Amino acid sequence: MEMPPRPTVFDFHGVSMIKMFTDNWDNIQNFKARPDDIVIATYPKAGTTWVSYILDLLYFGHLGPERQTSIPVHERVPFLEFCVPSLHSG
């Protein structure tokens, strides 16, 4: 199976970034959290997906186990900065 090519990295305010994380930057800069929002902020490769699963289970586990198997975690807990037209954005 052939892997898709890696996205091109470029300098974005002094940080190496890919376009999928910077295309939505104006919305990120203007984001205003509501009192009932939960924002997960982690370093890369520090357990973000693990924390997302745990928080989703704590808040929505009462809806039944089919939620965890039928809806991918990136749709249950969208990334604020990730901008792909076919995916939900946080």
CB 25 within 8 A of CB 13: no
pLDDT digits (tens, 9 = 90+) for 59-79: 888 887 887 788 888 788 887
Q: Is the pTM of this model over 0.85?
A: no
Q: What percent of the chain has pLDDT over 70?
A: 91
Q: Position 60: which residue type?
A: F
Helix, coil or strand: residue 32: coil
